[in-house]
Amino acid sequence: MNDRVPPLRVKAVRKKAPSVWALLLIFLFFMGFMLVLLLRSPLGKIEQIIIEGNQLVPQKEISSKLGTKVGGSYFAFRPQDAQKAIANIPEIKRVEVYRSFPSKVTVTLQEQRMVAFVRTEGGSVFPLLENGKIMTQRNSVSMLQQAPIFEKWDLTSEVFRQAVEMFSRCSISDFKEITYIHPAEENPDQMVLYSKKGHKIYVRIEDLPKKMKLYSSFHNQPSGTLYLLESVWFTPNTAHES
């Protein structure tokens, strides 16, 4: 019997499929690398900050609350944190902060309405907001001719709080001729308004929004006293009082 040499059989080597985890790591590495490039590129920087709706609060003060500036990281900026910080400013009623890709930040504000001024016992004059807050840190000199001044009030009293609340409900046009607002000494539920026309006007605090609309009918009367109470009547000053 002839000895036969068995034929050489080459065993096929099966190629092992790449590991799913290896592919995932490569993908994450690639994405991380791209993110670093994006953060370092001009596309990752804030190029424009727009602040809208502020009149009482300086733009510089609002910018300081943002937590970023032009040139800062667009992706690291957190609008929610900036919104909370700006909302803590007393004059701010509503605020919205949002990003617009690729490089813009917008701040939209609604401020508390400034309704009047308050003169303190020391003689200083400060803006008064519709929520009753007196802005002692604001300079009001340039606005003194634009709103009436509350004088001689106990600024901590409930009567003053109610007076401000009723006043804030009124139309600004009803008070364009009013210069000063005092409490009525004899009647705590009333206030006395003084006009540029020389009119002294008595009105119940709770009736102020409704009764002040009647003043336009007496606007051209000579100087005198107008009672906008349960009954409405006008008494002109005598020659001696004028």
Q: Does 29 score more than 80 pLDDT?
A: no
145 and 220 fall within a common domain: yes
The total domain count for the chain is 2
Q: Does 164 score more than 90 pLDDT?
A: yes
Of 66, 88, 111, which residue is a domain's last?
Answer: 111
Q: Taking a C-beta distance cutoff of 8 angstroms, is the pair 207, 167 a contact? A: no
Q: Which of 61-65, 71-75, 139-143, 175-179 has the lowest mean pLDDT?
A: 139-143
Check residue 173 and give its pLDDT.
85
214 and 157 fall within a common domain: yes
Residue 189's domain comprises 114-236
Calpha distance 167→170 (Å, rounded)? 5
Calpha distance 38→218 (Å, rounded)? 69
Inside any domain, residue 24: no
Inside any domain, residue 32: no
- Pick from 167, 163, 175, 181: nearest CA to 216: 175
pLDDT in tens, 195-234: 999 999 999 999 999 999 999 899 889 999 999 999 999 9
Q: Cβ–Cβ contacts within 10 Å for residue 150, how many?
A: 24
φ, ψ for residue 197, nearest 5 deg: -85, 0
226 and 126 fall within a common domain: yes
Inside any domain, residue 12: no
143 and 184 fall within a common domain: yes
Put simply, whether the predicted model's pTM sits higher than 0.85 gets the answer no
Q: What is the DSSP letter of 139?
A: -
Q: Does 147 score more than 70 pLDDT?
A: yes
161 and 52 fall within a common domain: no
Inside any domain, residue 16: no
Inside any domain, residue 72: yes
Of 111, 130, 162, which residue is a domain's last?
Answer: 111
Q: Residue 82 to residues 69, 102, 106: CA-CA distances in angstroms?
A: 12, 19, 11
90 and 193 fall within a common domain: no
**Count helices and strands in the chain by DSSP H and E runs:** 5, 11
Length of the chain: 242
